[in-house]
Amino acid sequence: DSDVERPDISFDDVGGMDSVKEEIRMKIIHPLEHPEIFQAYGKKIGGGILMYGPPGCGKTYLARATAGEVNANFLSVGLHDVLNMYIGQSESNLHELFEMARENQPCVLFFDEVDALGASRSDMRHSSSRQLINQFLAEMDGVNASNEGVLILAATNAPWHLDSAFRRPGRFDRIIFVPPPDRHARRAILEILLQDKPVEKIEYDKIARKTEGFSGADLKAIVDLAVEAKLSEAMRAGHPGAITTGDLLTSLKRLTPTTKEWFATARNYALYANQSGIYDEILAFLKLTR
């Protein structure tokens, strides 16, 4: 079951991602901190941001940090919280989750894998799936209840499967590409991952340079492998040894970035199914032109 929580992390705990944080500040954080300025221009506090990009790049963590940054409640919704085999039950579950967010505002309502809940209606064979999307759109539009103070964030690895109706104004009208971390961000992530572990003069810049294209989850896998190797050593030696740059480079040799496959798919959508320019950020990242 989904529970409302009050996250104790903020943007300071998120490595890099400066442009993504700035978008979220403009859309979500500044309106909450200065409501009178936004209201003077007739802007409501709320609306939605859709974050997309390869898996393991910190979209969920960023959503939680957004709530922590403004001291708001956080409600995270997964597929199992909504989908139900009985007719009408999925819509009812979705309505209850929106109601929970409204009762606990200011609240960041976060939908993970939103493409599975809001898959394009033209791809659907079942009317029940269409009804769920219609319910989702009605809840986002605040048809029967105000969404003032409810900030809707969603993450997807496959934005091309999301029904285009979700991208209309007042819904997910800001769409942000969350790329794999750049070198500066990779260094920051590695420092965070190793901060409570016994280490010996780690050459963070060297490892950051060698991990181009690695996601945050991939970097965690490097550290986990190094820790496992050190644990085996420590058990034999009878005392813990420090993790070195060499240990991390040895782990790195065993891994390849998981983002490669995602970019192969994304590249095709960006080149051949990008009429609205929605995927221009992917092209810019890959240094391609249409």
Count Cβ neighbours within 10 Å for each residue of 116-150 and write b for 16 or more, e otherwise.
Answer: bbbbeeeeeeeeebeebbebbbebbebeeeebebb
Q: Tell me whether residue 273 is exposed, middle or buried, using C-beta atoms within 10 angstroms of its C-beta: 0 to 12, 13 to 18, 19 or more.
A: exposed
**Cis bond upstream, residue 55 (ω within 30):** no
pLDDT digits (tens, 9 = 90+) for 96-136: 999 999 999 999 999 999 988 887 666 655 667 788 999 99
Radius of gyration of the chain (CA): 21
Instruction: Tell me what the mean pLDDT of segment 133-145 comes to.
Output: 91
Q: Which CATH number fits domain 183-253: 2.60.120.260, 1.10.10.10, 1.10.8.60, 1.10.1740.10?
A: 1.10.8.60
- Order of strands, edge to edge, in the sheet holding 174-177? 4-5, 73-77, 107-111, 150-156, 47-52, 174-177
| CA gap 226, 114 in Å, rounded | 34
| CA gap 193, 224 in Å, rounded | 9
Q: Among 60-69, 146-155, 166-175, which stretch is predicted with the lowest mean pLDDT? A: 166-175
117 or 66: which leads in pLDDT: 66
pLDDT at residue 129 in the model: 77
Provide the angle, in degrees to the nearest 10, between the axes of the packed helices 183-194 and 216-237. Answer: 40
pLDDT at residue 123 in the model: 62
> Phi then psi for 28, rounded to 5 degrees?
-115, -45
What residues form DSSP beta bridges with 4? 75
- Work out the number of other CB atoms within 10 angstroms of the CB of residue 26: 11
pLDDT digits (tens, 9 = 90+) for 26-44: 887 888 788 888 888 887 6
Q: Strands 73-77 and 174-177: what pairing?
A: unpaired
Q: Strands 150-156 and 107-111: what pairing?
A: parallel
Which class is domain 4-177? alpha beta
Alpha helices in 179-215 (DSSP H): 183-194, 204-210
Q: Where do the domains of the chain lie?
A: 4-177, 183-253
- Work out the number of other CB atoms within 10 angstroms of the CB of residue 282: 22
Question: Which residue type sits at 262?
Answer: W
